[in-house]
Amino acid sequence: MIGARLFNDKNVPLFTLLICIFLSLALIFSDSNEKVQSFRISITKNFSFLYQPFNWIDNQSFLLKKIEVLSSENLKLNLENELLSSNKIENDYLREFLNFQDREKYKFVGSDVISRGNTSNLNTILIDTGFESGVKKNNPVLSSRGVVGKIIASSANTSVVQLISDGNFRLSVRVMPSESEGILRWRSNTICEIFEVKKTSDINIGDSVVTSNLSTYFPPDLPIGKVISIHDKSDSFNKVVRLELHSDLSKLNQLFVIIEGDNQ
């Protein structure tokens, strides 16, 4: 009790002074007199530095919120861009598929690649269509860009495709527009070579390579690739033509099988 009383007795003048100052400032800043207004402006200007830290904190808080909003919007735009890119790829694939189907008078069965196989003597893939869909051995298999292989085995709902990149794969082809013919064999990646081409054949870089009408299982004029180089053999009457496949065999996802018109 005595300590509290002493504390109150000592601080009464201080409290009184603070109350007086507060009331004086309230009267000053509530007065509309011009001199008072001028004094108010001067006081505000002189002590404005006291508000700068608070203004800086407010600005930083505003900027952080703005950055957060912009980051969120940027993420949304990136996701939308990825979706549009994916849709464009799928749309391009379907457009190529429809254009090819309109151009060629064959019956196609669409299929998806479900696994890959690569042994010492075979380079194959497994697709999700089989003899229940009309697929059978030796049916040609194409991507939306051109020939990629042929069926070598089928079950009810799956089939094994031997790819052009298999070392045992051979295909009779024709180079257009000269109609020079030869036998295609894979070399590496998307590069193949055509052997047994007559040295007198008029072939140029950029010429199209298609299936020939000499093939037992492939209809003629299916696209395969384009000529990228020609090599004459000094010890032979033939030359070797190198071509690049239209299809990237390492990126096959959706394919279609020709189930009619394969015995030409």
Say if CB 165 and CB 187 are below 8 A apart.
no
Q: Distance between CA 96 and CA 141 in Å, rounded? A: 15
What's the one-letter identity of residue 3? G
Which CATH number describes the domain made up of 104-264? 2.40.10.340
pTM across the whole model = 0.60
Residue 241 neighbours by CB distance under 10 Å? 25
Beta bridge partners of 148: none
CA distances for 204 relative to 75, 178, 236, 241, 264, angstroms: 49, 9, 20, 9, 28
pLDDT tens for the chain, 264 residues long, are 545 554 455 666 666 767 766 666 665 555 555 655 565 566 555 655 555 665 666 666 777 777 767 766 766 676 666 556 655 655 665 656 555 555 556 788 989 999 987 655 568 999 999 999 999 999 999 988 889 999 999 999 999 999 999 989 999 999 999 999 999 999 988 999 999 999 889 999 999 999 999 988 999 989 999 999 999 877 778 999 999 999 999 888 889 899 874 443
Question: So where are the chain's domains?
Answer: 2-46, 104-264
